[in-house]
Structure 1
């Protein structure tokens, strides 16, 4: 338990990078969740090259191996779907939307793997022209392959529902009192401004009442 602000920062870093609390709670859930999140992050970093206008800096050559992270993402999602289906306690509290979100992410991941690692490639140059055109407000045509259009359509669907779905749990960790506060309750009293004001008003009323009794 961190007793200093530095300790809080370190705890937050471990939670964000390593999912420390999830690791302590359930190793299998941690494994699949960590694979999915890390795989997704690396895949998104690799996708930056499509949105980069003009020639790519040489540093982008270093992220080409990130394409294999798609397998980690898919494996993690398969594990999380299986958890929803086969773990009775989790299945009991799962809503249809929970399954749909995971399946949506899974289809996006699988369609990306198909385009990257099979003969069903799409025109990467056209993809870059379209994606970078979104940044520079220069519209370009999309490739017309079914698997690519499916991939892009589902990504747009995901972007549309992301703000109103459970997927928006990402920033929540930074607002969690059990994560972002120093555990110094024995040294310092923590009280919200409205509660302190209410307490002071009650103290004044109590003093007035005691004064009248005297």
Structure 2
């Protein structure tokens, strides 16, 4: 293997470990964070099925964003759907051996890269052009959008221009990462930039605002049933504290008697 291939192989595993450890840690943190109050936002679901349907609409349709701002919803939805389709198409590179025929169905997904890039350009333009959004934007917000944009544009360049790369080598390298049968990768600059930024994104994902991906499922404004009048809502830590106070009160009353 070449030095470049060794570097990117090591970078992938390092990024993957950081991603997995970081995601597990954050999800555990979300899981144990208490929700002391019932705070679902209106219109509130009255059943658990309603909560599931609400989360499904949020994940698939970005319902609350659609109600908030149509332009932000349009660009955000284009980006996320485009990214999803592109990732599905990229799965063929990691598939060991010959590809099943089902992968022929995802070939048109390559055009989703344009939706992804257009969505990112719109979101970047929103942060620059809208004063109130620009005021609350941190440098990391711009850098994250720029990182995603360069990844998307470099992918479009490799797919739709004459700057193609050797997809056979790409598949050998990518599938080898999962089977530990390591191989050389293409050395075109645009390809190396593409995967370097993709692996970097994998590493910084758990410490970025991209954590809204798992975070939405732990948001009490989205995952709670509006049944506060029918069922008392109390967090485990509050229940434990209440029980301890009751024990101390009984002990005090026992001493007085």
**Matched pairs, number:** 214
The offset of 1:199, in angstroms, is 3.3
Cα distance in 1 between the residues matched to 2:145 and 2:206 = 16
Report the Cα distance in structure 2 between the residues aligned to 1:201 and 1:56, rounded to whole angstroms. Answer: 61
1:88 aligns with: 131
Indicate yes or no: 2:206 matched with 1:163.
Answer: yes
Q: Which residue of structure 1 aligns with residue 149 of structure 2?
A: 106
Aligned partners of 1:197 and 1:204: how far apart in 2?
Answer: 11
Whether 2:227 is the aligned partner of 1:184: answer yes
The alpha carbon displacement at 1:211 in A equals: 8.9
Give the Cα–Cα distance (whole angstroms) in 1 for the partners of residues 243 and 164 of structure 2.
Answer: 70
Distance 1:76 1:19 in 2: 14
Residues 156-198 of structure 1: per-residue CA shift (max 9 Å, x gap): 1111211111112200011111111111111111011222333
Does residue 1:62 correspond to 2:105, yes or no? yes
Once the two structures are TM-superposed, the CA of residue 119 in structure 1 deviates from its matched residue by 0.8
Quote the residue 1:131 is aligned against. Answer: 174
Distance 1:122 1:203 in 2: 70
Partner of 1:45: 88
Question: Aligned residue for 1:24?
Answer: 67
- Secondary structure (helix, strand or coil) at the match of 1:32 reads helix
Using the TM superposition, give the Cα deviation of residue 89 of structure 1 relative to its aligned residue in structure 2, in angstroms. 0.9
Deviations along 1:47-88, whole A, 9 cap, x unmatched? 000000100000000000000000000000001101111111
Where does structure 2 lack aligned partners over 5 or more consecutive residues? 1-43
Shift of 1:110: 0.2
Q: Using the alignment, how far apart are the partners of 1:12 and 1:114 within structure 2?
A: 36
Question: Which residue is equivalent to 2:51?
Answer: 8
Distance 1:201 1:139 in 2: 58
The CA distance in 1 between the partners of 2:185 and 2:238, in whole Å, is 57
> Which one of 72, 76, 98 corresponds to residue 119 of structure 2?
76
**SS class of match (1:10):** helix
Cα distance change on mapping 1:148 and 1:187 into 2, 3 Å: same
1:174 aligns with 2:252: no
Q: In the alignment, does 2:240 pair up with 1:194?
A: no
Normalising by structure 2, what TM-score? 0.78
